[in-house]
Amino acid sequence: MLYYLFRFLGEYGIPGSHIWTYISFRALLTLILSLVISVWFGEYFIKWMKRHNVSEAQRDKSIDPYGVEKKGVPTMGGIIIIVSIIVPCLLFGRLRNIYMILMLITTVWLGVLGFADDYIKMKVSKDGLRPVYKLAGQTLLGLFVGLTLWLSPDAVIRENVSTQRLGNTEVVVHKSEKVKSTITTIPFVKDNNLDYAEIMSFCGKYKTAAGWFLFVVMTTLVVVAVSNGSNLNDGMDGMAAGNSAIIGVALGVLAYVSSHIAFASYLNIMYIPGSEELVIFICAFVGALVGFLWYNAYPAQIFMGDTGSLSIGGIIAVTAIITGLVRLILQDRSPWKVRSVAFDSFIGIALGIGLLITYFSFFGLFGNIFFR
């Protein structure tokens, strides 16, 4: 809102109003405000929750790494995170930007889904929302995000098409026109474009539509997997919030370089016009998580609950999808000598599954040894 106000004032030559056009300025304000809201609102929210005895069922100390019984600790702390994200984005963000709209919808959508789960756990049944309903909500969001990126005229790219040499300097050339494309790049790896349409080339003249269909399917799978993964990660005081803040910083850097044509050319990645608003959102995301850590670090004064963990996972997933980070699963070139897309796909998916199995096996083994 303030962005549009000062842009309006800038048309009349009001001194200082043009500073609001700088991403760095708005990002800094967003980070500070989200941190302040999270710390300030969090204190009053925790007191209100304790006063009304809104808390999660007692956690067994045998599953706590510190051997502490968690009794009477309020839950639904994700509300603090969500409020601390939405308010700064509404004030400092460009609300007509398609990527900002998608991120805000994702936050609210999964926040409501997680809130329903937490509420049912406290008031109805400790099992919470039935898994099929939770999965349906996540799947619908994934389909919505994928179809929006497919059909929206504002979700466009400028493809990095070639490299040229100017003396000793290699320069990456982007197309001048903005297009909707099934092509993406693996960040920081040169000459490694991936075209979903080429993967679906067996569909003949319908390969472009089939490529977009594959993209929507991949988007849905990523949203469901990452949001549930964040939920599983929420097991120790400060664990989910701390990890997610670090991930948020990395995604913010990727969003910034993708929105800046000079950096996109230097790193040889897609230039995504409008993705600079993701930087604003991610700054709010990181600030909210850091502020929430003040109350969630050991010993936790509040749990984020599914209200927070599902939202955090969805935010990470959708940001990664928009910036093209998760599209690196399928490559058209690999470190192996085999030039087969099917082989590369199999290797990439197998490695991902293997890493997940290794992680959970390691966590489960040492959890049983040390924490029981």
Please give the structure tokens belonging to residue 306: 């599914």
Q: What pLDDT shows up at residue 346?
A: 43
Q: What are phi and psi of 301, to 5 degrees?
A: -90, -15
Q: Does any domain span residue 165?
A: yes
How many helices (H) and strands (E) are present in the chain, helices listed first? Answer: 12, 4
Which tens digit of pLDDT belongs to each residue from 172-188? Answer: 555 556 556 666 655 54
- pLDDT (0 to 100) of residue 157: 65
What is the pLDDT at residue 322? 84
Give phi and psi for 164, each to the nearest 5.
-130, 155
User: Which residues pair with residue 162 across a beta bridge?
Assistant: 173
Grade residue 340 by pLDDT with cuts at 50, 70 and 90. very low
Residue 366 lies in a domain: no
What pLDDT, on a 0 to 100 scale, did the predictor assign at position 338? 35
Confirm whether 256 is domain-assigned.
Answer: yes
Residue 320 has pLDDT above 70, yes or no: yes
Query: Would 178 be classed as within a structural domain?
Result: yes
Its pTM stands at 0.78
Q: pLDDT: is 15 or 325 the higher one?
A: 15
pLDDT in the model for residue 342: 45
Cis peptide upstream of residue 299 (ω within 30 degrees of 0): yes
362 found inside a domain? no
Provide the domain count of the chain.
1
Q: Identify any residues that bridge with 164 across adjacent strands, giving them in sequence order.
A: 171
Judged on CB neighbours under 10 Å (0-12, 13-18, 19+), 342 is exposed
For the cut 50, the answer to whether the pLDDT of residue 235 exceeds it is: yes
pLDDT value at 100 more than 90: yes
CA distance 250 to 84: 20
Min mean pLDDT across 28-37, 44-53, 88-97, 352-361 is at 352-361
Mean predicted confidence (pLDDT) in 323-345? 41
Provide the residue type at 139 as one letter: T
Question: What residues make up the domain containing 195?
Answer: 2-333
Scored b (16 or more CB within 10 A) or e, 172-201 reads bebeeebeebbbbbbbeeeebbbbbbebbe
Query: For residue 355, is it within any domain?
Result: no
Nearest-angstrom CA–CA distance, 349 and 341: 12
The reply to whether 338 falls in a domain is: no
Question: CA 256 to CA 245: how far, in whole Å?
Answer: 16
CA–CA separation, 280 vs 332, rounded Å?
A: 33
Q: What is the DSSP string of 187-238?
A: TT-TT-EEEHHHHTGGGGGGHHHHHHHHHHHHHHHHHHHHHHHHHHHTTSTT
Q: Is residue 365 part of a domain?
A: no
Model pLDDT for residues 149-163, shown as the tens digit of each residue: 888 887 766 655 555
Q: What is the pLDDT of residue 27?
A: 93
pLDDT tens, position by position, 107-162: 999 999 999 998 888 888 777 888 889 999 999 999 999 888 888 887 766 655 55
For the stretch 227-252, what's the b/e string if a residue is b when 16 or more beta carbons lie within 10 angstroms of its beta carbon? bbebbebbebbbebbbbbbebbeebb
What pLDDT, on a 0 to 100 scale, did the predictor assign at position 359? 46
Burial of 7 (0-12, 13-18, 19+ CB in 10 A): middle
